[in-house]
Structure 1
Amino acid sequence: MSYDLSLLGWTDDRAAELPEGAVPARVARVDRGAAEVLAADGQHHVKYAADVRRAAAADPVALPCVGDWAALRWLPEGRYVLDAVLPRTTAFVRGGVGRTSVGGLSRDSQGQVLAANVDIVFVAEPSMHATDFADLARIERLVALAWESGGTPVVLVTKSDLFDQHLERSFDGLLADVRAAAPGVDVHAVSSLRGDGVELVAGYLEGSRTAVVLGASGAGKSTLVNALAADEVMATQQVRAADGRGRHTTVHRELIPLARGGLVIDTPGIRRIGLYDMAEGVDRVFSDIEELAEQCRFGDCGHAGEPGCAVLAALDSGDLPERRLESWRKLQREAAWMASRTDARLRKDQQDKWKAITKEMRRAGRNRP
């Protein structure tokens, strides 16, 4: 099967970045040390060139990921190799993913790219869970990551047909709470099984736009992808009857071209996702608190009891929910911790670099006649 690269998002700007003699392809799926890519002459399973492996060993963020545009090189033995990853326009990066083994040594992971070159980030939260405070906090976290990625977040309250109409809170009230947790972001109700809202979602993918769908297990991500594709392209499972939560159905990230135009990346359910260099994204999600902070008497107000604190005044008046302030504090602490860890790593890398240069200079001095 051949592919029209323009429908996959290929542009003249990307063509200008392609090394001479290379073949462009878009990464649809990654495995260990290899990737499935879509090229003009079809789909290929390609291994990584040595330069790509070395770059990934130095920084895991450089590892090819779903959505990347890659440069392929044809080998004499009759196969392609992934020779380079082209510069990313956007990158959805998470931190705090544990430790990685590089060269036999274990070290803190610097981050993991979940998807690249994404235009739209769909944050999926099922209607029967979105009333919980913890799930509103998850929406805030994922929207912060979406803003930081460079993509445009859109929150989808999925499985709207399963909303319990007997709850004290109305569905309109639920949507209002979600909108308050994601100010300035489009929020839509969707029932993929009924088809409600699917065409509206598809409208975000006109042309060759790429979207990634994020959310917890059981959020209906794969069902939504199937509805957008008008085909059973992803396996789905029912939520557990015991607790209403979902099982992990999607076990890998995959780029899926849609017949109607556009592309979508389905992702495994996310139980926990750490922030990575997310200060600006957090500020955008909590723009209401940032605006209040500008009215505080002191410019360095910590909103912890200082006189003239506009944030605490809004809390006392009920204009600012306590849950939202606590969520802001938590994400601010986490973003600051990740930034400090990144700074420490950069200092360590710089020290190692100068140690290596000094060692080489000393060696050269000893060998000088």
Structure 2
Amino acid sequence: MLLLPSVLRFALVLLLEPNIVNLLIINTSPNAVKVCCPPFDKRVESNGTVFCFATVIVPNDKATIGNYLCRNLHPHAKLASFHSETEVHAVSILEPAITGLTFEVDEFTWRDGAILDYAPWLHDHPSINSSDAVVELGRDLFLRTVNLKVSTSRKAVCKMEAENTECPDCESCVLRRTGEDTICYRRVLIGFSEADLRDAVDNNICAKTYPGYDLASIHSKEENDFISDHINYTISASEKKETHIFVLGLRIPPSKQGLPSANNLFEWTDGTPVDWNDWEDVNSTLTPVYRPANKNERRKCWPSTKSVPYAWMYKENNLWCTTFIYGPKWVICKKREQCRHLT
């Protein structure tokens, strides 16, 4: 029997089994695989799978309850189904919340299409005595039917399977996929004054706080809405009381400030082209205009007699303004990641 050196035997295997080459390339990735749940509140391993859970505010109308309520969290998120005590226990400590269990055609079903194999009902429940009844999970680990119409402030619980990714910042940033790219967004709180705003933008506070990040540039309505929805979700209720302003990387550079004509002077600090905008007063054109703001010009921006050469987004309507508002502000940071998603 001919005995070949180990190196030759390995080379022969590669020639005879070319698919092994692809396997080797996949397994030699330099980045560790992580299981991520941003921007969700809770991650739970159940029946061999990691799931992510979070709550969202819902309207007091059963007809409006649906999986779409969870889409602002993630495109794959749906109203939660439960299949083990582990899942129920993890979610119940968040707060009472409406689940994805619904009564349709004389039977209960999960809105995400999962099999109804686990349902810890409270004593004397379910009790369907109203067309507005929905199923809520309480802190006591039991399901019960509640009348949505007579409720004041209800929340629903959303669920998705965790993402397997190689993105190193996956647990500390909000991830957005765009085709083959993955973009991470983070935020930095800055001070009250105009000097704080100028310093943060002109000296790239994002790069100082998070190496590799720039102030966010925005190039589509989808990205604009994503930043508003997802960044807003990661801000706690107490933080939201502090500010409604998201500072972007759009500015008139100091070298161009004060020029007679301000048209076409706005630039993204990351060097990308200004190819889309959502200005409150000139959003019908791709040419941003810097001019003093007042009630007539900027009906949806906060009235002000002073405008600054820096753009910010008002999170209540996603529109961009340049009126200066005294108070704390969130600077939105952005980084394009070179990483793979494995799910």
State the TM-score, normalizing by the size of structure 1: 0.25
Which of the pair has more CA radius of gyration?
A: 2
Q: Of Structure 1 and Structure 2, which has the larger fraction of its residues in strand?
A: 2
Q: Of Structure 1 and Structure 2, which has the larger fraction of its residues in helix?
A: 1
State the TM-score, normalizing by the size of structure 2: 0.27
Task: Identify the structure with bigger relative contact order (alpha carbons < 8 Å, sequence gap 6+).
Answer: 2
